[in-house]
A and B are shown apart, each in its own frame.
Chain A
Amino acid sequence: MGIRTMGDTGKIGVKDAAASAGARLSGPVVAVIPAYNEEDTVGDVIRATLAHVDRVLVVDDGSADKTGEAARRAGADVVRHLVNRGLGAALGTGFEGARRLSAAVAVTLDADGQHDPGEIPALLAAIAGGADVVVGSRMLAPRGMPWHRRLANRVGNFVTFVLFRARVTDSQSGFRAFSRRALGEISVRSRRMEVSSELVAESRRHGLRLAEVPIRAIYSEYSLSKGQSMHTGVQTLAALLFRRISRRY
């Protein structure tokens, strides 16, 4: 299946693995989907996701359109931010929601259709296998990724490594899974897009086991128009620097 594990400190016996795999997945699997003005795509994403998880929690980050309504109609639990707080804040709220729902696993994915919910089982398998944080990496099989995205990703990975000493192949991926332990220990302080790098850094800080699973990214014209521009990139870097000096990593 091509799972890369990092920071794996011990070996698990076969019987223990099966038992702990069961224990690790006892409790609802909650999908956390941060959404900001995604009324067109969020419904489809939710419906496809519900096939693989127990509950879908959409965090409506102050959308001006009918994202919340569309999400509710598609069968998701919706938590609404009255004002837009940013991706990081939305994820933080999603994590807190997952905790309150006693989730065994929280899976994060984007609302714009860039992630294929059919790959959720691969992430869950990695959690069952002992990982605390699973990152779906587009770079393990980067077919079809635009060159500028690849470059931006390389820069992001480099920055994450330099600032937080954590090596990943796709630091900016929004397709991730977190075990109950990871949910309990990770605290998200970033508000905006630097949260991706912060999550990796937090995993390292708490000694969580990080694994990567190859995923396919779906690049439609729509999803390409979102994401990080140069300006956002610079802003994100500045925010990360501030984060680095204000916490002991």
Chain B
Amino acid sequence: MLLIQIVIVAAAVFAIVMAFGRRRRGDLSLRGLLLWSLLWTGAAVASIVPRLTTLVAGWLGVGRGVDAVFYFALILLFYLIFRIFVRLEIIEHEITSIVRELGLKNLGKADSTEE
């Protein structure tokens, strides 16, 4: 086995173990755990049997297996970043709602003495 294969498989095992730990502590959803494990299992498999990536590349009409892996990884990254961006927007809206309600709580009661 090549060194890079060992590194990738080791990283995959580590990542999956960490994910299970997170799940146990309640920091990760079941869906998140499954998707993450699937991703890393795929990486480990592709690493151990590189012929598979060449096969997939062939289906897609792409030259090399590793190219197909990169394209896939890039698309996945863009998608995940977009999801994060949207999620952040939602969180900002929620913060504003909370800050707004807190601020408006005393409106109308302002006729009673304050300072």
Contacts and interface: CB of A to CB of B under 8 A. Distances in A.
B2 to A, nearest CB: 44
Contacts of A101: 107-108
B81 to A, nearest CB: 14
Nearest to B99: A81
A236 to B, nearest CB: 15
Given A72-B114, A82-B102, A77 B107 contact: yes
A46 to B, nearest CB: 14
Interface string B76-115: 0000000000000100110110011011101110100011
Contacts of A79: 103-104, 106-107
Nearest to B102: A82
Contact of B96 (A72, A78, A89, A97): A89
B102 A93 contact: no
Nearest to B111: A77
B103 A191 contact: no
Contacts, number: 45
Q: For A85, A100, A101, which residue has the most chain B Cβ atoms within 10 angstroms?
A: A85
Given A59-B103, A80-B103, A96-B104, A85 B96 contact: yes
Q: Shortest 7 CB-CB distances between A and B: which pairs? A: A79-B103, A93-B100, A89-B96, A77-B110, A81-B99, A85-B96, A80-B103
Q: For B89, B93, B100, B110, which residue has the most chain A Cβ atoms within 10 angstroms?
A: B100
A82 B92 contact: no
A191 B92 contact: yes
B112 to A, nearest CB: 12
B1 to A, nearest CB: 47
7 contacts: A81-B99, A81-B103, A89-B96, A89-B100, A96-B100, A96-B104, A101-B107
